Amino acid sequence: MPSLRLSRDTAVQPPCQLGSEFAPTAIRQRQPGPTPENRLRARAALLPGIIARCLAATALAACAPAAAAPNAPAAAQPAGPRADLTAPTADDAMLAYRTMRLWLDGWAVPPAPGPAELPSAEGASVTLRFDGQVIGRASELAIGPADDRGRIIYRALVAAYGEADRRAPIEHDALREQKLRTLGSRVMLAVELAGPLTPVEPVRAQDLDALLAPGLDGLAVRLGNRTEAMFPGTMLATNTAPSEAVRALVARLTEQPSAALSEPKDLIRQGMKFFKFRSTLLAQAEPGASPVFLQRGQRAVPLADVSARAGLVRYADALARHLESRRYAGAEPLGMHGTYLPWRNQYQPLIAEPHEQALAALALTRYGAYAAADPDLANRARVAAAGLLRDLHAVDPSESSPYDDAPASALILATLGWHRGDAAVPAADMARAARARLRAAFDPGNGFDASVPPAAWGVIALGEVYGASFDVAPGPNARTDLNRALDERARPAIRRAFRDTQPTNLFSLMPFLAWAEIEASATADADVPAAGALRQMRSTLWRAQLSAADAGPDRQDAVGGVLFTTAPSTLPTWNTARPLAAAATMLGDGRLTEPGERAGEVVRILGALRFLNQQTADDSIGWMAPSPALSVGGVRAAPWDARMPVSATAMTLLSVVETIRALDALAPAPPRAASPEEPAVRP
C-alpha cells in the first residue's frame, strides 16, 4: 500500500485526491449570511419530532439549485472577463440534433443542408457512438467574419459521418449500404454547439485549468488561418484537463509534437492565439433514446430526489449495487477492483488498496443493516461485505497485507462486529491481527506513532472502540466490562486525537472520530465530551456549503457541496461526503442536535446529498461511457473528473445510510427487529 505519510502542518487538501479519506483537510472560512435554512427556524415548531417525512417541499426548495436558461451568461470568475461567454440556445441545439438524427437514421447526409435545416453556430462538435465505442468525432469552429456560420454544424457532421462510415463494423460487401442504413438508427448522437470565442492569455499550460470553467468551457488554439479546438464535452468524455488539451491542440496545429512542450507565453510571442468558449451539449444516453441536455456531462439532479426516505433508499441501493459490481471475479482472493475509469471501461489500479476495500466492506455492511430496500438486497450486501473481509485476510502474494496498514486494520475492526456469526469470516483471527497493528499505531501513554498521519487518527480511534468489544463476553456484566475495555485504549485515543488536532483540521478526521466519540460516550450513558468541538465543526461545515446564491449560473450543479480549501474554490468534490456522514449521525443524536435545530440540519444535509447525487452516475452517462451499467451508482471524483474511486462511493453510501438512520430515529418507522449479529458498539 502506498505511504500515507503527510505533514502535520498541511492544511489544504487538493480539490480532488483519490483515496483521500485519510488526507489532511482544512476548510475555507466564509462569513455567515442569510441562508434558506435560517428562514426555516420559524417553522421548526410545526415539526415536533417528525422531521423525516414531513419537511415540506416548499421549504426544501429553498436550497435547491436554481434553474438557468441554456443560453444564460456565465458567472463572473476571478480568472478574467466572461461577459461574452454565452452558450447557444437550447432551441438551436435541438434543431441541429433533430436534423442530424433524421439524416443518420437513414445513413445518408445530403450534399448540402436545406434552408433552415441547421442553425448558425460559432462552432460545433459531433460525436457518433456505436455499441458504446466512438466511431466518429469531429469539430469545426468559425475562423473569421467571412466564414459561413450556417454551415459550421454541417461541416462537423460531414467529417464525423465520414469517419463513422469508414469505421463502422460492417463488412465491405454488396450489402454494406443496406446494412449501414440499418445501423444508422443504432448510432448514438451527441451534438455540442459553441458560443463566441473569448481570448485568454495563459502564461503556463497549467493556467488554463483556472482560466476555463471546468466541464463548461472549451479551448481553441489559432495560428494564422488554422484553428484547433477541444470542446468541453470531449474533455469530459476523455477526462482531459485544459492543461493537457492545449498540448494536444498545439501539436496538431503545428504538426510538430515538440511544440507541445512550449509554454503558451512563448507560443503567443510566435503568433499563436488562445481562446475559451461556452457550449451547449445535447446527447443520447442509449440508442433510440431521446436526447438530454447535460451540464458538465451530467443530467441535473433535483433536490426532490433525496427529500423523502424512499428517494434516499433508492439512492443507497444504487450506490451499494455499484460497490458490489466492483468485486473481483477471478479465482484469486483480491477483493475488489480499484478506481473505475468509465470513459475507458478500465480499472486503475486493477485492485483497490486494502483501506479502500475495508471502507467498502463497512459501507455495504451498514447499508445491509439499516438502509436496504428489501431483505434480498440486505443479504446481497452482507455477502459482498463478508467476501471482501475474507479476501482481505487471505493476502495474495501480489498485494499488500491490510495488517500492514493502520487505517485498513481499524476499518476491518469497525466492520467485523456484524460478521462474528458468519462462518465464512475468520473474525477472531482478523480481530487479533488488526488489533496488533493498532497497538503499534497508538500507545495510551505516548500517543500516536510518528509513522501514522494525523488524518488517520480518527479511524484508528474508531478501530479501538470496536476492538474493545472483542474483550467483552456476553453476560450481565457486559456493559460494565465494555466500559472498562474502552477506558484502556479507545477513549485515550479519542481524547488525544481531539487534543492534538487544530479545530480547522478536524474535517480530515471525519466521520470516524465523531463516530468513535459518539459511540464511546453512548456506551457510558454520558454526555459527549467533545460536543462543543463537534458542533463547531458542523457550523464551520455549513458556512462553507455552496448555496444557490453563491454558486451563480456556472455552478448550480454544485449547490449543496462543501468547498474544502483555504482559498476560493471553483467546485466542491466527493470529499463533501466525509464530514457529511458525521453531521448525519449528529442529527440523530439528541445530545448534539436539539429539537429546534433539526429542521435546518435536515435541509442542509439533504442539500449536500443532492450535490453528491449529482456527482453519482445515472443512466445518462451512456453518452460517454462504453459500459454504462458498470458506471451507474459510482460517485465521480469531482464535477470535472469522471474517475470513480472506491472511497468516493463507499463514503457517500455511508453518508446516505447515516441520514436514513437519523431520519428514522426522528420519525420512527415500524420497529425493526435487531439482528443477532449486530455488534454491541454501533457508531
Contact (Cβ atoms closer than 8 angstroms) between residue 10 and residue 24: yes
281-309: pLDDT as tens digits: 999 999 999 999 999 999 999 999 998 99
Contact (Cβ atoms closer than 8 angstroms) between residue 107 and residue 183: yes
**Distance from C-alpha of 81 to C-alpha of 276, rounded to nearest angstrom:** 11
Instruction: Please tell me the least confidently modeled range out of 190-194, 211-215, 469-473.
Output: 469-473
Mean pLDDT of the chain: 86
545-556: pLDDT as tens digits: 999 998 888 899
Residue 61: per-residue pLDDT: 40
- Cα angle 477, 479, 480 (rounded to 5 degrees) comes to 65
Q: Are strands 217-223 and 198-200 parallel, antiparallel or unpaired?
A: unpaired
Q: Name the pLDDT band for 15 (thresholds 50, 70, 90).
A: very low
351-408: pLDDT as tens digits: 999 999 999 999 999 999 998 888 999 999 999 999 999 999 999 888 899 999 999 9
Which among 123, 192, 187, 180 is positioned nearest to 151, based on CA atoms? 123
Residue 545: per-residue pLDDT: 95
Contact (Cβ atoms closer than 8 angstroms) between residue 281 and residue 233: yes
pTM: 0.87
Residue 564: per-residue pLDDT: 81
Per-residue pLDDT, averaged over 472-484, amounts to: 88
618-657: pLDDT as tens digits: 999 999 999 999 999 999 999 999 999 999 999 999 999 9
213-255: pLDDT as tens digits: 999 999 999 999 899 999 999 999 999 999 999 999 999 999 9
- Best-predicted range by mean pLDDT (15-29, 65-79, 351-365): 351-365
3-class DSSP state of 662? helix
Q: For 273, which DSSP code? A: E
Residue 59: per-residue pLDDT: 38
Q: Name the pLDDT band for 682 (thresholds 50, 70, 90).
A: low
- Cell numbers standing for residue 416: 467485523
309-339: pLDDT as tens digits: 999 999 999 999 999 999 999 999 999 999 9
One-letter amino acid for residue 640 of the chain: W
Contact (Cβ atoms closer than 8 angstroms) between residue 132 and residue 284: no
**Distance from C-alpha of 658 to C-alpha of 372, rounded to nearest angstrom:** 12
Residue 263: per-residue pLDDT: 95
Relative orientation angle of helices 457-468 and 406-416, to the nearest 10 degrees: 40
**Distance from C-alpha of 343 to C-alpha of 349, rounded to nearest angstrom:** 15
**Distance from C-alpha of 311 to C-alpha of 379, rounded to nearest angstrom:** 21
Residue 382: per-residue pLDDT: 94
Which residue is it, cell 469522471? 642
Contact (Cβ atoms closer than 8 angstroms) between residue 15 and residue 573: yes
549-564 core/surface letters (b: 16 or more CB in 10 A; e: else): eebbebbbbbbbbbbb
Percent of the chain with pLDDT over 90: 72
Q: How far is CA 397 from CA 60, 357, 655, in A?
A: 52, 17, 34
Q: How far is CA 84 from CA 200, 279, 500, in A?
A: 13, 12, 50
Q: Name the pLDDT band for 668 (thresholds 50, 70, 90).
A: low
The yes-or-no verdict on residue 183 having pLDDT over 90 is no
